[in-house]
């Protein structure tokens, strides 16, 4: 399990930066090792977030800021 302090810090940083909500939701799901969404509910932003979150990557979100 990943460090929840890192989780909270990263989520706050992403929210303040105005990251795409789909990326944020994907990142949260991946970081917390939740199952992926159903195929019809995923998109590029969600998939990128899920991959980064599952790998514990905390700095790739900048390209998903709206």
- Please compute the mean of the pLDDT values over residues 25-48 and round it to a whole number: 97
- Residue 60: pLDDT above 50? yes
- Match 């509910």 to its residue by tokens: 41
Task: For residue 20, give both structure tokens.
Answer: 């795409």
In a domain, 66, yes or no: no
Task: For residue 33, give both structure tokens.
Answer: 């090792």
Report pTM. 0.93
Q: What is the pLDDT of residues 3-21, one digit of tens each?
A: 889 999 999 999 999 999 9
Q: What is the mean pLDDT of the chain?
A: 95
In a domain, 64, yes or no: no
How many domains, the chain?
A: 1
In a domain, 41, yes or no: yes
Local structure of residue 26 (DSSP, 8 states): H
In a domain, 65, yes or no: no
Task: For residue 59, give both structure tokens.
Answer: 């700095």
In a domain, 43, yes or no: yes
By residue range, what is the domain housing residue 34? 4-57
- Please compute the mean of the pLDDT values over residues 26-35 and round it to a whole number: 97
């Amino acid at each position: 399990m990943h460090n929840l302090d890192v989780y909270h810090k990263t989520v706050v940083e992403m929210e303040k930066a105005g990251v795409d909500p789909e990326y944020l939701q994907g990142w949260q799901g991946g970081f917390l090792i939740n199952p992926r969404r159903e195929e019809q509910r995923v998109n590029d932003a969600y998939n990128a977030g899920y991959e980064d979150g599952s790998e514990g990557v905390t700095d790739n979100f900048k390209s998903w800021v709206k």
